Amino acid sequence: MNAYAQITVFGAVQGVGFRPFVWQLARQFGYSGWVLNNASGVKIFLKINSENNPEAEKQFVEALRGQAPALAQVDQVLWEWIDPNATHRELTELKDCCGFTIQKSRPGLMQTAVLADATTCSACLRDVFDPENRRYGYPFTNCTHCGPRYSIIRSMPYDREYTSMAGFNMCPVCQREYQDPSDRRFHAQPNACPACGPQLRLTQFLPSSETSHTQENGLSQPDNWRMIEQVCHYLAKGLILAIKGLGGFHLVCDAGNDSACRTLRQRKSRPQKPFALMASDMDIVKRYAKVSKAAEKKLNSTQAPIVLLPKLGKLPPSELSELVAPNQSRLGIMLPNTPLHSMLMSTWAKTCPNRLLVFTSANLSGYPQIYRDDKEAELMQLADAVLTHNRPIIRRLEDSVMKTSVEGNDCEALRQSRGFAPLRFTMPEGFPSLNTLASGGDLKNSIAFQKGNEITLLHFLGDMENFDIQTAYGEALQDLQQLYQLKPEHIITDKHPGYYVKEEILRYREKHAPAATLTEIQHHHAHLNACLFENAIPLGSPPVLGIILDGLGFGEDGTFWGGEILYGTYDHFIRLGNLAPRPLLGGDKANKEPWRNLYALVRTQDSLENLIQRYPQVKSLRQLQTKPTDLLDSMSKSGLNSPLSSSAGRLFDAVAAVCDLCFDSMSYEGEAAMRLEGLLNEELLLKEWENAYFMQTETNPQSNRQLLDTASIIPQILKDLNNHLSVGQVSARFHICLVKTLLKSAEQLREKFSFQYIVLSGGVCQNGWLIWLFRQMAPPEITLLTHRKLPANDQSIAVGQLCALAARRVNLC
Ligand SMILES: [Zn+2]
Ligand SMILES: [Zn+2]
C-alpha cells in the first residue's frame, strides 16, 4: 500500500536550486512524484511506498529545512496527507507515476521572491582557479548557488530571456548543465562559459607610450589572466582603473600609493570622504583592521558587504596612504564578490603582497555610481583604463555597508543594497494583509511595499536632489509592475510638502492606482516604527519611548524636527520632548555649512564681540567674525530663509564647528558628526565621565513636554577650548552630556507615561559611541531597541511608513 502527500514550501525557494534539491532528496528517500514552482513557493507531490510511515513526514521535512540550498530561505513547510480514497485532482496521476520528476513552472504563475545577487560560491571559485577546468580564468562563472540576480533581471519570471543574459545563447555543454537536475548549474539562468558567455575587455586611455597592446573582444581564458596581470601592472604603477562590478563601476587604485589616492580624490572631487577598500583574503584584512567574529562572518557572507572596522594602530604610510580615510578611526573593507574580483585580487596579491586596493564607486562627487556601458566617456575622465565586459547591469546596486558595534560583538547595516536587495521581511504578529506602496523620503531613499503579510525593501537609491537618482526612482517604481506585480490599494508618503518623491508617487498613483488611499506619515514616527518592526515588536504592544536623533524631517507643527522624544505605538505618537528649535540660518545652506549652526547657538548667549573677549583662545569664534553674521541676524529676525529646526544632526555640526572640525563646509553628509565620533574611545569616555557638560532642560508643566536647551552647553565648551582642552575631550564631554540629558528626560517622563522600551533611531544613531553610552547609562529595567538589519538612517523610512498604515488599518476594522 502506498501513502500520498502534498507539501508546500513557503519562502524564498525559487531560482535557488530548490527543485533539483527536492529531486535529489526524493530519490534518496525512494519516493515517486514531482515538484513544481507555484505562486506560494514550491509544491511537492509524493508517493510513499510504505503506508503512513510515521517517520516519513518528520524525516523529509527535516531534510527539506536542514539541507536546503545556500540561497534558499524556508519560512514554512506545510505537509498534508492525501486520503487515497478521496477525489483529489492530482491523485490519479500520483498513483500512476513512477520515479520523481521536475515539472515546468506553469505560465502565469508568479514567482514569490526576486532574489539578491550572491557572491561567488567556493565550488565556482575552484572552477575558475583550476587550469584543467573549462571555466579556468572565466570571470562570469556562476551556478544556482551564486552569481548575479537582481542586478541582471528586467522582469519576471526569472528566466534567462528576461535578464541581461538574453543576448547570450548557451553552448551545448552549458545547455546540458542547465537541463541536468543533478548538475550544480541546473536552471542557473546566467549560466555561461568562455565559449558562449560575456567577455572581458580592457580599454586604455593612456598616452601611447603607456599602452602595451589593446585588447579586443573574444579572448580565450589565458588572455583573461594576461589582461588582469596588465591591470595589476597598471595599478602597481599608480594608475587608476575603472572596473565593472556586479552593480556598477568602481574606481580602483593602490591603497598604499599616496599620489594615486591624491589623483583619485582630485578626479572625483572628493576631498575627504573615506574610500572603501578590497582585500584579497581575511589575513590581509586583519593586517589593517581589528576583525571581530561578527565582522568576519559578514565579510565572508554571500552578501559580502563593506564592513567598517576599527583601524589597527599606526600603519606605515607605504602600506596604507593617509588619504584613503583621513581623520577616520575605521576602515571600510570588503572581500571579492565576483569571480573577476577574485582573479584580480589573487593576481594583485602576487604583484604587491599584503596591499589593499581602493575600491570606491565610480562617480563624480554628488553624482551616483556609473553603471551603464554607454558612460565610457565619463569613465575616461576618472580612470586611466577601464576593465569592463558586455553583460549589462540592469539596475545600479551600490555596495552595501555595515559597521561593527564598538563592543565588536555585532554588525549593523548602514546601507542595504548589493547582496541584500531586495530585502524581504515577514510582518510581526497582528498586522493585516495589505497591498501598500511607501515612497520613502528624499534623502537616502529606498522604496518599500507590503504585499500580503510581507514587506520588501528595495535597493538603496540615494538623494533625490540628483537627476540620475530621480530617474532611478522612476525605474524602481516601474519594477513594482514588472517584477512584483504590485497593485497597491494604499499609498504612503512623507509629510514634507517639498519632497520630490511625494510628487512622483502622486503621479504614479494617478497612472497606476487611482483608487488607492493616500496617507502621509510623519518622518520620525516612521523611524520609530522601522526600529519597532525590525525588533519584531508585535502589533498592539504598549507604547514605547522613541529617542529619534536625526537630520531633518517635517514635523506636525510645520517646523523641521530631528532631535525628538516621541511616545507611541505603530499607529500613533505624541511628542514629549525635543531639542530646542533653532533657526537654520540660510535655509538649506545650514545643512552643509556647520558654522551657521554654531552661530545659531552662539548668538543666544551673548554678542560675538563679548564672547571673543571672554574666550580669546577659541579660534572658531574669531572665524565666525569673518562671516556675514549681521545679515544672518536680520534674516533670523524677519524669519526669512531661517526655518526653525530641532535637528540633532545640526547640533553635532555646531559642536564640530566650535572645535574647528570642518568649520566652513562639510565635504560629505554627516562629516561633522563622524569627525566627532572618530575622536572617541572607551578610555577617554570613562575619563571624562564626571566632567560632562550640563544641558539645561525645561519642563512644560501642562504638557510635561521636555525642552532640551542645547545652547546652554556652548559657554562650557568655549571655556574648555579657551583652556586648551583637546577636541577629543570636548567631544567626549558633549556625547556623555547628550545621552545623560536625554535619559534624564526619559526618567522624568516615566513618572507620567509608562514604557518598558526605549527606541533609538535616526541617522545620528549610526554613531557607535552614542549607542554605547546609552547602553552604559540606561536603567536596568529599560530595554533599548536599536537597528541591526535596517539602517538607522532614512533608508528605513519607507518600512516605518508601511507599519504605520498597516497598524491604522487594523484599528479601522
Ligand atoms: Zn557557484
Ligand atoms: Zn557555454
| DSSP state at residue 114 | P
Which residues lie below 8 Å from residue 663, measured CB to CB, with a gap of 6+? 594, 595, 598, 620, 623, 656, 657
Which residues lie below 8 Å from residue 398, measured CB to CB, with a gap of 6+? 247, 248, 361, 368, 369, 415, 417, 418, 459, 460, 462
Q: Which segments of the chain belong to CATH 3.30.420.360?
A: 422-521
Place of cell 538623494: 463
pLDDT score of 51: 61
Between the CA of residue 162 and those of 82, 149, 158, 187, 754, what are the distances in Å?
37, 11, 7, 14, 54
Q: Is the dihedral of CA 439, 441, 446, 448 positive or negative?
A: negative
Question: Domain 422-521, what fold?
Answer: Nucleotidyltransferase; domain 5 (3.30.420)
pLDDT score of 209: 43
Place of cell 548557488: 145
Place of cell 563679548: 610
CA of 247 to the centre of ligand 1 (A): 18
Q: Are residues 43 and 8 in contact, defined by beta-carbon separation less than 8 angstroms?
A: yes
Nearest to 486 by CA among 714, 728, 805, 156: 156
Amino acid at 440: G
What is the distance in angstroms between the CA of the first residue and the CA of the last residue of the chain?
Answer: 50
CA of 173 to the centre of ligand 2 (A): 6
CATH architecture of the domain formed by 3-102: 2-Layer Sandwich (3.30)
pLDDT score of 41: 82
Q: Which ligand is nearest to the CA of 141?
A: 1
Q: Are residues 273 and 667 in contact, defined by beta-carbon separation less than 8 angstroms?
A: yes
Q: Which segments of the chain belong to CATH 3.30.420.40?
A: 544-786
CA of 141 to the centre of ligand 1 (A): 7
CA of 756 to the centre of ligand 1 (A): 46
Beta bridge partners of 70: none
Q: Is the dihedral of CA 560, 566, 568, 574 positive or negative?
A: negative
pLDDT score of 366: 79
pLDDT score of 429: 84
pLDDT score of 112: 57
CA of 175 to the centre of ligand 2 (A): 7
| DSSP state at residue 445 | B
Task: Supply the CATH classification number for the domain 200-401.
Answer: 3.90.870.40
pLDDT score of 38: 79
pLDDT score of 111: 52
CA of 285 to the centre of ligand 2 (A): 35
CA of 151 to the centre of ligand 2 (A): 21
What are the cell numbers at 784?
533599548
pLDDT score of 219: 46
Q: Beta-carbon neighbour count of residue 426 at 10 Å?
A: 15
What are the cell numbers at 791?
539602517
Per-position b or e across 713-745, b if 16+ CB within 10 A of its CB:
bbbbbbebbeeebebbbbbbbbbbbbbbbbbeb
Q: Which ligand is nearest to the CA of 176?
A: 2
Beta bridge partners of 566: 546, 575
pLDDT tens sequence across 72-109: 888 889 999 898 888 877 888 888 888 999 987 765 55
Q: Which ligand is nearest to the CA of 168?
A: 2
Q: Which ligand is nearest to the CA of 142?
A: 1
Q: Which ligand is nearest to the CA of 120?
A: 1
Residues constituting the chain: 813
Between CA 755 and CA 774 the distance in angstroms is 16
pLDDT score of 207: 58
CA of 23 to the centre of ligand 1 (A): 19
The domain 544-786 is placed in CATH, from the list 2.40.50.140, 3.30.420.40, 3.40.190.10, 3.40.50.2300, at 3.30.420.40
Residue list, CB under 5 A from ion ligand 2: 171, 174, 193, 195-196
CA of 127 to the centre of ligand 2 (A): 14
Strand, coil or helix: 636: helix
| Side-chain-facing half-sphere of 216: CA atoms under 13 Å | 1
Element (H, E) at 76: strand 73-82
Strand, coil or helix: 307: strand
Q: Are residues 742 and 782 in contact, defined by beta-carbon separation less than 8 angstroms?
A: no
Q: Which ligand is nearest to the CA of 145?
A: 1
CA of 171 to the centre of ligand 2 (A): 4
Between CA 69 and CA 118 the distance in angstroms is 13
Amino acid at 10: F
| DSSP state at residue 143 | B
Q: Phi and psi (nearest 5°) for 267?
A: -65, -35
**Pairing mode, if any, of strands 401-404 and 241-244?**
unpaired
pLDDT score of 653: 97
Beta bridge partners of 276: 332
Which residues lie below 8 Å from residue 286, measured CB to CB, with a gap of 6+? none
Which residues lie below 8 Å from residue 671, measured CB to CB, with a gap of 6+? 272, 273, 656, 662
pLDDT score of 659: 97
Q: Which residues of the chain have pLDDT under 50?
A: 208-219
pLDDT tens sequence across 513-560: 999 999 999 999 999 999 999 999 999 999 999 999 999 999 999 999
Residues with catalytic annotation? 19, 37
Amino acid at 201: R
CA of 623 to the centre of ligand 2 (A): 66
**Pairing mode, if any, of strands 276-278 and 357-361?**
antiparallel
Q: Which segments of the chain belong to CATH 3.90.870.40?
A: 200-401
pLDDT score of 88: 78
What are the cell numbers at 589?
545652506
